[in-house]
Structure 1
Amino acid sequence: MRLIRYLPDGQAFPNGSVLTIGNFDGVHVGHRMVLSALIEQAKSLGLQAVVMCFEPQPIEYFRAEAAPARVSTARDKIEQLSETGVDALYLVRFNDLLANMSAGQFVEMLVQRLNVQLLIVGDDFCFGKNRQGNFEYLKVAGEKYGFSVQRSHSFKIENERVSSTLVRRALENGRLDKVAVYLNRRFSMSGRVMHGHKRGRELGFPTANIRVKNRKTPLKGVFAVTITLESGVVYKGVANVGTRPSIEEATAVLLEAHLFEFSGDLYGQRVVVAFAKKLREEKKFENLEQLTQQILIDSEQAKTYFNQTLTS
């Protein structure tokens, strides 16, 4: 997959493209339905399958700190999209220019820069300043500029429309079983292991400390997790996502993962932490002895969960 961060001055695809546009936050099963249709249509027409996303996401641009937490970071989204088989991803910077672009100017950009021949969009897709453009607008514009438009309908599970909002709500409620269904995989977070205060090592539970890059995290608490190293080796463990109230007064969210049966140096490695089961909420303990006892309990609960999963 080609990753392109700037729109070209001329046409990027002389033979034309099949395009879809959206946030694709989390790349859930509803997104994958759209992407499967995109790839299938592109192959049948002999064109490139292209995805357009924005960074930051438009809701983050307009609402800033009031924007909801992301399901996935930009990096994770890029990796998830690359695994689907699309040919190219335009990760376009959302700025004042795009925010003030009219629906007509936006369509002209798609025609002139991306040579769009077929556009596939979700049933709630809106675009242009003040969200003046929608599916019906695109149908009319397509007749004018010579491209086709297809509507991708909602993907439902148990009569609920699968969306990033639905995934986010399930994460906030600790329903990782539902999240795994919505994503068709376990929810995960990735990042580089950084140096911490080594307090976990002092307590007998060394941790891999990963700074959460998003402004907000969609979940908090203590979890049974798996940790995949750069080598591909997978460890089971327990992880805390939060601000560590028993250790320090902090506002930045940190992901701390304790790997079972691991010894070694992970500093600088990019690891993937997949969340299997929520064990409890994060809380502040009166002293480090209480914290140590709770970590022992958390670890045993995580090990019990994994052992039951293996035997079930």
Structure 2
Amino acid sequence: MELIRGEHNLRPRHCGCVATIGNFDGVHRGHQAVIGQLLDEAGRRGLPPTLITFEPLPHEFFMGVKSPARLTALRERLQQFAGLGVERVVILRFDARLAAVEADEFVQRLLVDKLGVKAVIVGDDFRFGKDRAGDFGSLARAGERLGFEVLRQNTFALDDKRVSSTRIREALATGDLDRVQELLGRPYTISGRVRHGDKRGRTIGFPTANLALPKGTPAIGGVFAIEASSAEGARARGVANVGTRPTVDGRIPLLEVHLFEFSGNLYGHHLCVELKRKIRDERRFDSLEQLKRQIRHDADLAEAMLSRQA
């Protein structure tokens, strides 16, 4: 998959494609249906399928810390795109300059002049351009005028309700990982590079691999039975905490993973952590000794849960 970071990196060879535009946070089953439609249409026309997305996400730019929790970090989004067969991804930096671009200019400059789109796939609720003035209708009229087709995105629904990132956040908030998996079409994972922490876990007998979470407030929190895999193919089961670690007066949300029967140095490695079952909410303990006893209990529960699933 070719990754193009920024409009300024588009070249004449990128002109001529079928495109879709969106945030694609979570790359859930609705997004997968759109991407499937993109691939089908691009294949029918003999053109490369091109996905246009944003970093940061537009609502993160406008809402800041009040924005909805992000479901997937950029790296994980890109991995999902590649796995689904997208040939090209254009990442536009969403900043004040892009937010100020008028809808007509966005169409002319990016879609027509730089990408030479022959078809664009978007939904009925698609909005774009300054003050979100552009919509499906205005894009379709621009396509008629400028020579590209605008195709309606197929809605993907479960239980007669549209699959959306909002529905997934709601299921994550209640710890309903089975529902999350149904909406995503895959287990919920958090991926990232293992970073150095305060190494307090070692002092109480539970060394952890620490991963930074996607920007903003985490979409999920608590203690979980997990399975982790490294980019090198190693796999291990364990127990993990997603949260701020209130017992040690933590402030920044982290994913802390304790792996069973594992020895080795994971610092700097990318780890993919699959949340299998929720054990409990995060809470503060009066002492490290109480925390140690609770972690031992959580680990035993996690091992039992994972053994039953095996």
TM-score (norm 1): 0.96
* 1:14-33 matched pairs, under 5 angstroms: 14=15, 16-33=16-33
Query: Deviation at 1:97?
Result: 2.0
Question: Structure 2: which amino acid aligns with 1:130?
Answer: D
* 1:220 matched to 2:221: yes
Deviations 1:200-256 (A, max 9, x none): 111111111112241221011000111102321111100001111112x22211110
User: 1:258 is matched with which residue?
Assistant: 258
* CA distance in structure 1 between the partners assigned to 2:6 and 2:136 by the alignment: 25
* CA distance in structure 1 between the partners assigned to 2:120 and 2:265 by the alignment: 48
- Please state whether the residue corresponding to 2:134 is helix, strand or coil: coil
Query: Deviation at 1:61?
Result: 1.0
* 1:160 matched to 2:161: yes
Query: Identity across aligned pairs (percent)?
Result: 44
Corresponding pairs, count: 308
Show structure 2 runs of 5+ residues with no match.
none
Query: Deviation at 1:291?
Result: 0.9
User: 1:99 is matched with which residue?
Assistant: 99
* CA distance in structure 2 between the partners assigned to 1:238 and 1:65 by the alignment: 28
User: 1:309 is matched with which residue?
Assistant: 309
User: 2:174 is matched with which residue?
Assistant: 173
* CA distance in structure 2 between the partners assigned to 1:250 and 1:302 by the alignment: 24
CA contact (8 A) 1:191 1:272 kept: yes
Runs of at least 4 residues off by over 6 Å: none
Deviations 1:154-181 (A, max 9, x none): 2111122111111111111111111111
CA contact (8 A) 1:51 1:86 kept: yes
* CA distance in structure 2 between the partners assigned to 1:144 and 1:117 by the alignment: 12
CA contact (8 A) 2:221 2:243 kept: yes
* CA distance in structure 2 between the partners assigned to 1:137 and 1:167 by the alignment: 30
User: 2:45 is matched with which residue?
Assistant: 45
- Please state whether the residue corresponding to 2:224 is helix, strand or coil: strand
User: 1:112 is matched with which residue?
Assistant: 113
CA contact (8 A) 2:71 2:214 kept: no
The 1:286/1:64 distance shift into structure 2, 3 A limit, reads: same
213-222 or 113-122, which deviates more: 213-222
- Please state whether the residue corresponding to 2:182 is helix, strand or coil: helix
Deviations 1:124-182 (A, max 9, x none): 11111111111111111111001001111321111221111111111111111111111
Question: Structure 1: which amino acid aligns with 2:167?
Answer: L
- Please state whether the residue corresponding to 2:282 is helix, strand or coil: coil
Show structure 1 runs of 5+ residues with no match.
none
